[in-house]
Structure formats: structure tokens, C-alpha cells
Structure 1
Amino acid sequence: MAKPRLPAPGSAAAGPTDPTTDEVYAYTSRLRLDPRRANPDGWRVDWQDGPWPVKVYTGGQRLRLRPGDADPLGAALHRVLYGCFAISRVRSDPAGGVHASPTDPRPHHGPEVLLRRPVPSGGAMYPTEVYTVLTGTDQVCHYDPYRHELVRLAGGAAARAVRDALGPPAGEPPAPALLVLTSRYWKNFYKYGDFSARLGSVDAGVALGRALRLAGAEAGPARVLSAFDDAALGAALGLDGAEEGAYAVVTLGDPAVPSGFGPTVADAAPAVLERSRTVKRSAEFDALQRAVRTRPRSPRPASEGGHAGDAAVHPAGDPAEAFALPPPRAVDLLAPAVLARRASRGRLFNGAEAAAGSLATVLHHGTGALRRLARACPDGLGARAVGTELYCAVHRVRGVPAGWYRFLPDACALLPVGAGPDEGCARQVHEALFAASFNAELAAFTVHVVTALDWRRAGGPRAYREEQLAVGAAVEGLTLGASAEALSGHAVLGFDVARVDRAYGLDDSGSGTQAQVCVGALRADPNWEIAVMPR
């Protein structure tokens, strides 16, 4: 039986007023600049009252996904969902993992057996859930990543309500399946508090990038929808908007090939079980979620002052000094061994040099993930992907001077910016970390994801969520590219962005760093990690 959830002291009060756009902007700016002070004084993590590692439904009809399903849609769902969301690896860690929060570094011994998924996630929280809408059979299901099954939630009217909330063009046949990506707030909030307002969106963007990559490989180019009616979509899925919100939708399959795949028996709707007795939230966190649920407005034209927020402002740099990289290597990012490899397995780099070709490959696939998202999403999310860029701090790459660079994707070159050549850049990257949980200075290079900072001109608070989704998509491409090069890609959001911005010459430019991925070879891992497959 589910434990009753008790009201949390200090939770958001009932009947809140909507914040102004400037108030939301001030909140999100604090999350980027100083996540250590994002939470109220005295914030502590109750490790014993955390949520389940997966969202748990009890009851309802289940449909197991299997490789080689006779129905092409069933086989495609197996490959996409397993390659992105499934619990695909089990890791042993006698130390109980690394359990800390930005404001609570006290040691905590967590589980010695950790459940891992194919995509990186902040703190291995995996807050992103996925729901499938099977349009051929009008079924709405939740994906159970533990059992690799679809759990039927509703049918008929609910499936049609999902399509209505998305507002597809009149006369366009729906895709055989829609993958609705949501963020379950408590999965992150219990550990990270207010910082999870940013972390959850980036995590969803990582999952979105992988889901789009795999869906496109199944039946041609997939589409991404993000300008939908949040409240209507959440209601169609049976979600409580205060606890979970829909962030993006990915189409799967060829609309010209209908499918009858789906549950055949309409059982009673299942119920959600929650492990935690106390589910906390903050007033500012809730205010942000209410604000981003508002449909985005059209961006102001750049002529009204400043830039439109869709493109980063470049620091000064002499194009004649650009350092040409070798062509990216030909690697198969969809190879099972690449998809299965944990991007950040282990935590300690060994200080080995990387080849310039490896650097070019990782940067190329980070940019490629952004371009794929821009092609798939014609609305504001696509614009945010276009305006997202990659910068790089080279620590130790053969033939490339150490220093600070902006990546020029069309030329496959590095342009020195800010401090330019700098033998001490690796140490600066390490010292900018808020928590020294790994040795960033011994990575071969560090990639920083950069966006324009003032999203108020790009369509209001909804643009902030779209910006963070695009950042996550870039992180997915970078970490997968690192895996293809047999390197580790360790993503971090909590670092001194002001210090890194200064090194790149971005301070006072209107643009700034949002995330970083340290890439390099790892020391031997004393812990074991094995792959698991659905039965």
C-alpha cells in the first residue's frame, strides 16, 4: 500500500500568484550563477525518504516489449525505449555511490547496487518519464523502464485528447506512436532542491536528444513538438501538474504505415505508488513551472534593443588564427556497443592525451545533435537549438595548443577566444568545480555549451525550458561521441560559470556557459558494471 504523503513545512502555499517574467528571470539566473545558494537556509536532504528509482504504477494491463516483435511498431518501440530509457546496466559500488547536494556535502552511504540507464543524468536521478500514445489503437501507456513494459493508462478519449492538445496540422495523419517526455519533479527535487528546476530540464533534453536520434533511425526523420497546451496534455495523461509536467513529444514511425500494436484488454486504470512520505517543493520552483506552462509568445525583433535571444554573441577572435582540426572520424553512434557504454562510467581521468581526431569527432557530434533538433522542431525549441554553440578548453590534445576556443563547426576549426592559448586552463576548469568529486584537470579536453542568457526576448519563460532542453541535446551528442571514441564524457552543471565565462571572454557579452562535458580516458574502475537485457 502507498504511504500517505504529508504536507511539507515551507511548501508553496495554495492559491499562488503568478510571477512576473522578470521575477522568473531573476530566479533562473541564480540557478546558473550560484546553485549552492539556490535553496533556503537550513536545507537538508532526507536520504531515507527519497522516491522510488522508477515511477511505479500498480494494476493495469501490461504489454512487454521484445526484440524482433512481429509488429514493426512494437520492434521499433523496443529499440527506441530500451536504447534511451530502460534500466540497461547494473553497477556495484561498495562505497554506496556519491551522495551529496550543493548545500549538503555530508557523506551518505547509499545503495551498493545502482541501476543505470543508457543516457547520462545528473546524480543518476533519471527524472524523465516517457508515455507512449499508440494512435492506431487509441491507447495511452506509461513506459516501465524496470520491466521494459508498457502499462496501459487509458484509451479512446484520452488518446484523442493528447492529439488535440498537440494541435497537429489539419488533415495530417498522426504518426503510429507519440513519445511524450515528462519531468517528474520530486525525482530531482528531493536531492537538489531548487537547482532541480534547471537540472530536470537539461536531463529531459538529454533524453530528448537520444529519443530523437533513435526514432529517426527507425522510420526516417522524426518530429519534435514542444509548443503544445501543457495543461491539456498533462490532463490527457492523467498527470498532476504540480508533480509532473510534459516537456516534449517525439513522433515515431511512418504515418503512411498504420499499426494495430497495443494492449487488447481495457483493464481499470492503474494507480501510482509513491515511496516518499513527504514531498517538498518551493514557491519559486512552482512559480517557474506555472510560468513555463504558458504557451510561448512570438519573440521580440532584435531591432527593439539587444538581440532576439536566439543566437549567442561571439567574443572577439581573429579568424586568421583559427586552428584547423582533422576531419571527424567515421563512427557509428547507433552501434549497440556505443549506445550501451555508460558515458560517465567511473569518475577519475588518467591524464592521457587524446587525438585531435577524437576532439573533432566529439565536437562534430555535439553540433550534429543540435542541428538534428533544429530540423525536427520548427517552433521555439528549434530556434534555441540553432542559437546554442560549443566552446572548448583544450587540456591535452596532441597537436593542439592548450587554451580556450570557440568551435567553428562548418570549418571544423577552433578559434582562440578570451584568454586564448593557456597552459593552465585545465587547472582553471578543475578549480571552477563547486564539488571536487572527480579530477577534471586530467581530462583531455572540456566542452562548454553556450547560449544567449536573456531568454525574455525569445518568447517568455517557456523559452527558458526550451533553452535548457537544447543544452541537454548537445550534452547527449557530446557524451555519445565520447563513447564512440572509447572515452568518458562527464557532464556537469554545477560550476563557477562566471569564472569560465571570463576565460572565454564571454563576460558582459549577453551569452554564457550553461553546461560542461569533460572528456578523456579513465583509470581502471575497481567496481563492476554489467549489462542487463529484458526477459
Structure 2
Amino acid sequence: MVDAREYHERTNHSPERIRSDSFSLNQANKPRPYKVYENLPRRSLPEATRSPDEPALAAIATSNAAPRAGNDPSSLDAQAIHTLCHYATGITKELEIQGRRMRFRAASCTGKLYHIDLYAVTGDIDGLDPGVFHFDPDTGSFDVLRDGDYRGVLARATGNQQAVSDAPVTFVATSEWWRNAWKYRERTYRHAFWDSGTVLANLLAVAHGNDHQAMVVTGFADDPVARLLGIDPAEEAPLELVPVGSGDPTPDPLPVETIDPEEAPLSQNPVEYSLVPDAWRQSRLADGEEAKAWRERFHVSSERAFGRHDSSDAEMVSLDPVDRETASGRPVWSTIERRGSLREYSHDSISSQQFATILDRALRGMPTDCFAAETIDGLVDCYCLVHAVDGIPSGAYQYHPNANVLERLGETDRRTAGHLALDQPVVGDAAANVYLMADIDAIVEAVGNRGYRVAQLEGGIGLGRLYLATYAHRALGGRGFTFYDDLVTEYFSPRAANQTPMTLFALGKSAR
């Protein structure tokens, strides 16, 4: 099996690899962007509500599982389950583009291929009997995979992790590989965590905005979860668990009989890219005890062990994000519905307070099981290329969230910014580019191959929150991009010489 470090190296983009690549897309073989079960009953739940009215900038600014301070957790019912799924992976708008009716999902996805699915494993919820359900974004209904309360299976798979053991519902995010590999081939394993990250950023925002406890659980035994969902990891695999709510202890695990639900073919001739499921398999955990031990490896480590960088004595630019009272009040639901993927940027500058607020709210750390120790708040560092932000000189910077400062690393220019981003000049047109970067060697050395998942996921959730923080501002937009991995590292060196980019987000004002 391929090591995470080897996988990452083998899927790096470089100018030489891109120039020599003769691959072309087969449009006739393009997979359907959602799955269709042919033999399962369906449940229609009450229509999603447009709550919460909590501002998006407040809802995303949390690094722990608890709802807002001082608020009692809200109860979960069937409508709440539908609302969470709808604003995470559902269809939020339809537009006519060049004579074609296009449907857009709540969260961004590489290539608009939408390979991330959400499953809900529930107890007895008002309006919904216990069961294992698959959310169908095409119809907004739920496919019934199993009847009965199987939450104990997930609790055992996590080593009885507290949030999972106490949640009335736990969502499982998966990737159906071919739906992304059609275009991106072996790089799909990275995209699985980028794209599940944007989905989970929305899910967490809606949950926290509605005062539900919610966090991401990355430490669990993989095969029992796949068996519970009736999926084959060679084709579709579980990525993360998200327990939502509290105060409903799980029962003892039910026996899990094998199911093989019939799924309609995604396309005429699916192509297998074996490196993708192989990279997933090399990071599996065998059982709950191994999952618990893996989390402990995080808890005894420090940020220094993961290759992150503190500030130095270089030139600093202090940032001044707006406070809650004066920040944009655009609600979570409205922000998710407004979110797009900006295609053309003007060279107009954005305000330093807008930029500071976006970074501050989006990059406070994600609520997860493996960052429970006080010494760890993440695996990634943030680097910025600033082109047009009022009061901040153009240049390359490292952003330090705890101090809310930019540390100047050097010069930059728009042409170089576009070159780093896979020679996409539009990236250089943006007001700023935000790279989230991690030391893969140090992470794998400290916590094994599964740590690579967490680093990519943290980049993905950061990307999703950057989308939400940007689109919470009326005049701003943004989009995620890919990049030449090693050129980005070289550009931010010597500071980032040990780190490689996880995700890239470009933000600014529209040219239209």
C-alpha cells in the first residue's frame, strides 16, 4: 500500500507534468453527480427551513463542539435533519446559463462533480424513526438503508468517543471516487477531503447557528462504518463522522447484517484509479481501540511536532477585524444560497477590515476529536499573497490567527500569483490569495498516514469557511483553485520550506 507521503508526491502538479499530460475528458462517459438507489424505500421529511438567522460570520467562528456560549442546545427533529442535509449538500439554486438549466449545490466541489454524499444514522427523532438513511440531493428525500437504532455501531467504531456516544444523529460523509476521478484521476483522494471539508463547513455552520452541538470525528474504524452503509470502499468510502446534538446516549450496538443495495450505474464505463482507494486503505483504523489510541497520539503531541511556524522578528501588519455587533449580519442560510464561484475578478481593492474579518472568522480552527488537547489547534499554517487590500502593502505574508497579524515574508506580483495557481491568471486578478499549508512529513511521522486525512480536511474546512466568510459580505466573492505544489512551497520559503499546500482560495470583487 502507498504511504501518504508517497501518494502526495505522486499526485503533485508541476509545470513539466502538466505539459506532458495527454489526458482528455470523455464527455460521453461523464458520471452522474449523485447516486440513485433502485431498490430502496424513501422517506420525505418536512421541508428544510431557512433558519438559522444566526449571522454566518458568527456561526463559522468556532473551534469547539458546543453551541453559542450561554445558549441551551436545541432539540433535533425531522425538519432539522432535512435542514442540515439541505444546506450541506442540497440543491440551493437553479440558473439558466447559455440556454441550459444548471443546478447548484450548497457547497463548492472540485469540477462541480459533487462526489460527496451524506448519510444520517439516527435514534428515535421526532418525525423520524431510528434508521440509517442516505440523503438524495436530487430529490431532497432520504433513502432508507436500515431500520433500527444503529448509533451504537458508530460509537463502538470510535472507541466510544463522547460526542458520538451521546448524539441523537451522526452524519457520515463519503466520497464515491469515480464521480471525481472522471476528471481528476489519482488526485481525487485529496479532493475527497477538500470537498467533504466544504460540505462539513456548511453542516457545522448550520448546526452551530441553530444551537446544536456538533463536531468532526476523524478517528473511527473504517470497515464497520462502510459495512453499516452498505458501500464498497473500492468505489465509495467513509471519510468523516459528524455527531450533532447531545443528551441521547446510544444503545448497545445492533448486529450489522450485510446489505448490497442496488445502485444505478454512474456512467457507461467507469474507470478505476487504484491509487485512490489504496491511499484510503493505508490510513484505515481496525477497531475502536485503535481509533482511541490514534487520538491519544494527537493529544500527547504538540504543534511543534507538526511542523507549524510561530512568528519571528520580521515586519508585522496588525489586523483589525470587526466585532460581532458591527459585522455583516447576513444569516447562514442566505450566505449559503448566495455563495458562488467567482470567475472574473476586478483589480479593485477590498477594505483591510473585510480581509481581517474573513481571516479571523474562517481560520479559528475546526472542532474535531483529535485536537482536544490544549496544545493543538490545528495542523495547517496560513499564507497570503496580498494584491489589493487597503492599507496593506502588496506582498507575501504568513497569517498568525492567535495574534491577528500578518508577518511579511517578501514581495509578490499578480503574474506570479497566477503562475503558482496552475497558470490561471484569474488568481492574480483577485485582491488576495489564501494558501493553507502543512508539513506532511512531520504529520505522518507523528500520527501516521491518517494524519494526512486530517491535514487535507482542515484545509477543506478552512476553504469552506473562507467561502462563507467572503460571501457574507455583500460586494465580495471568491473561489477555490489548485496549484503547482512545489512552486508554492518554494515561493513561501524559507519559512514554508517544510510545508506543502493543502488548499487555495482567491477572494476579491467581481469584474462584472
- State the TM-score bracket (shorter-chain normalisation): 0.7 to 0.9
Given the alignment, which residue of 73, 87, 92 partners 2:91? Answer: 87
1:445 corresponds to: 432
Q: Does 1:478 align with 2:469?
A: no
Give per-residue Cα distances to partners, 1:405-459, cap 9 Å, x unaligned: 1112222221101x2xx3x4222111222253x6222211111112122132132
Q: Is the 8 A contact 1:31 1:38 kept in 2?
A: no
Q: Is the 8 A contact 1:363 1:390 kept in 2?
A: no
1:457 is aligned with what amino acid? E
CA gap 1:312/1:49 in 2 versus in 1, 3 angstroms: same
Given the alignment, which residue of 35, 41, 62 partners 1:55? Answer: 35
Q: Out of 122-131 and 326-335, give the one that drifted further.
A: 326-335
2:105 is aligned with what amino acid? R
What is the identity percentage for the equivalent residue pairs of Structure 1 and Structure 2?
23
1:324 is aligned with what amino acid? S
1:272 corresponds to: 263
Normalized against structure 2, the TM-score is what?
0.82
CA distance in 2, matches of 1:347, 1:337: 21
2:360 corresponds to: 364
Give per-residue Cα distances to partners, 1:453-500, cap 9 Å, x unaligned: 21321322211111111110110111111101231121112x123333
2:223 corresponds to: 231
Q: Does 1:323 align with 2:303?
A: no
2:347 corresponds to: 351
Q: Out of 151-160 and 138-147, give the one that drifted further.
A: 151-160
CA gap 1:293/1:36 in 2 versus in 1, 3 angstroms: farther
Shift of 1:271: 2.5
CA gap 1:281/1:412 in 2 versus in 1, 3 angstroms: same
Q: How is 1:322-471 mapped onto 2 (pairs within 5 angstroms)?
A: 322-328=316-322, 330-332=327-329, 334-344=331-341, 346-368=342-364, 370=365, 373-374=366-367, 376-378=368-370, 386-417=378-409, 419=410, 422=411, 424-436=412-424, 439-454=426-441, 455-471=443-459
Does the residue aligned with 1:281 lie in a helix, a strand or coil?
A: coil
Normalized against structure 1, the TM-score is what?
0.78
1:247 is aligned with what amino acid? L
Q: Does 1:253 align with 2:245?
A: yes
Which structure 1 segments of 5+ residues have no match? 1-17, 96-111, 259-267, 525-535
Does the residue aligned with 2:306 lie in a helix, a strand or coil?
A: coil
Does the residue aligned with 1:449 lie in a helix, a strand or coil?
A: strand
CA distance in 2, matches of 1:340, 1:219: 20
CA distance in 2, matches of 1:171, 1:54: 29
Shift of 1:237: 0.7
CA gap 1:40/1:279 in 2 versus in 1, 3 angstroms: farther
CA distance in 2, matches of 1:361, 1:159: 38
CA gap 1:340/1:28 in 2 versus in 1, 3 angstroms: same
Does the residue aligned with 1:27 lie in a helix, a strand or coil?
A: helix
1:51 is aligned with what amino acid? P
Q: Is the 8 A contact 2:471 2:477 kept in 1?
A: yes
Q: Is the 8 A contact 1:384 1:466 kept in 2?
A: no
Q: How many aligned residue pairs are there?
A: 463
1:286 is aligned with what amino acid? P
Give per-residue Cα distances to partners, 1:29-58, cap 9 Å, x unaligned: 232343984999654432211211211112
CA distance in 2, matches of 1:206, 1:28: 21
1:272 is aligned with what amino acid? E
Report the aligned-residue RMSD.
3.3
Q: How is 1:270-309 mapped onto 2 (pairs within 5 angstroms)?
A: 271-294=262-285, 298=294, 309=305
Does the residue aligned with 1:478 lie in a helix, a strand or coil?
A: helix
Q: Is the 8 A contact 1:49 1:278 kept in 2?
A: yes
Q: Is the 8 A contact 2:120 2:169 kept in 1?
A: yes
1:342 is aligned with what amino acid? R
CA distance in 1, matches of 2:435, 2:186: 23
Q: Is the 8 A contact 1:292 1:462 kept in 2?
A: yes
CA gap 1:151/1:172 in 2 versus in 1, 3 angstroms: closer
Q: Is the 8 A contact 2:306 2:446 kept in 1?
A: yes
CA gap 1:332/1:476 in 2 versus in 1, 3 angstroms: farther
Given the alignment, which residue of 140, 145, 152 partners 1:153? Answer: 145
Which structure 2 segments of 5+ residues have no match? 50-74, 251-258
Does the residue aligned with 1:514 lie in a helix, a strand or coil?
A: strand
Given the alignment, which residue of 463, 479, 485 partners 1:497? Answer: 485
Q: Is the 8 A contact 1:445 1:520 kept in 2?
A: yes
1:34 corresponds to: 14
Q: Out of 427-436 and 349-358, give the one that drifted further.
A: 427-436
Give per-residue Cα distances to partners, 1:87-142, cap 9 Å, x unaligned: 111233329xxxxxxxxxxxxxxxx3322112111111121100001122430000
Q: Is the 8 A contact 1:313 1:509 kept in 2?
A: no
Q: Is the 8 A contact 2:41 2:143 kept in 1?
A: yes
CA gap 1:251/1:218 in 2 versus in 1, 3 angstroms: farther
